[in-house]
Structures are given as C-alpha cells and as structure tokens.
Amino acid sequence: MKASSTIELRGLELPLDLGTYGPGDLVPEAHLLDLTLTIDSSLVLVNSDAMAEVFDYDPLIAEIDRLARDGHYETQEFFMTRVVKACAQYREIEGLEITVSKRPVLGTSGNLGVHLRLDSDALAKAR
C-alpha cells in the first residue's frame, strides 16, 4: 500500500461578510471552513524536526483569512473558488477537499455547506 498524507483543518470560523438578507431572513451567526490538503507523505515522514522538511501551512491560513476579510461575497462558491486558487499556488498540495458552511439554517439549528473535491488533475487545471 502506498503512503498518503493529509493536512486537515476543521471548523475554522471565518470573518466573512457573505450573502444578502432581507427583513425577516435568518442571518447566519457563523461561516465555517473545513479543508483537507493532500500532500506527499515525504513531507510528513521526515528525518529531522525542522520546518524546512514539512509543508508550512501558516502562510496559506493567513491568505485564507485575508480572503475572508476582503469584502462582501454574495456566494459561498465564489469565496471557495478563491481559496482553491490560493491552495493551487502551493506545488506541495496535490489535491484538496473544501467545505464552506453556515449555521444556523432554520431556527437555531443546522449547518448548510458547499463541498468540493479536487484530485491532482483538477488541481493542475486550477493552476
């Protein structure tokens, strides 16, 4: 069996200004990001405890935060597309899964999200 590796980010609450709501509409209290990055296992099974040997995800998280604060978005899909393009800038990322969701959806419950999965070929096209 071939080794595979992922970096997983779950439940990151985003500072998004997302959607347009009228009087009486339920305005979400939170927008969340789940992100799974597929990377080469050589970036996880390392020979020394050094940042030079691993994928440094901190700059990507900073860019996602910047994108979230970049202004008003009408749709989750457009924000998601911008995050995918940010991920595509890193050659270490071989594939990804992303979900952008909001809560609540009805009353005080429910999460509603859009999920996208890109394998290496689809991510190469995004590059």
Class of domain 5-126: alpha beta
Question: Dihedral of CA 83/54/3/34: which sign?
Answer: negative
What's the pLDDT at 25?
87
Q: With contact defined as beta carbons under 8 Å apart, do 7 and 57 qualify?
A: yes
Distance in angstroms (rounded) separating the CA atoms of residues 5 and 24: 45
Strand-pair partners of 96: 37, 118
Q: Is the pLDDT of residue 4 over 90?
A: no
Over residues 5-35, the pLDDT tens digits come to 999 999 999 999 999 989 988 889 999 999 9
What's the pLDDT at 76?
95
Q: With contact defined as beta carbons under 8 Å apart, do 45 and 54 qualify?
A: no
Over residues 100-116, the pLDDT tens digits come to 999 999 889 999 999 99
* E strand segments, 3-127: 5-14, 17-18, 30-39, 72-73, 93-103, 112-118
Residues 6+ apart with CB under 8 A from 71: 17
Average pLDDT over residues 81-89: 97
Over residues 34-83, the pLDDT tens digits come to 999 999 999 999 999 999 999 999 999 999 999 999 999 999 999 999 99
Both tokens of 99, joined, read: 């979900």
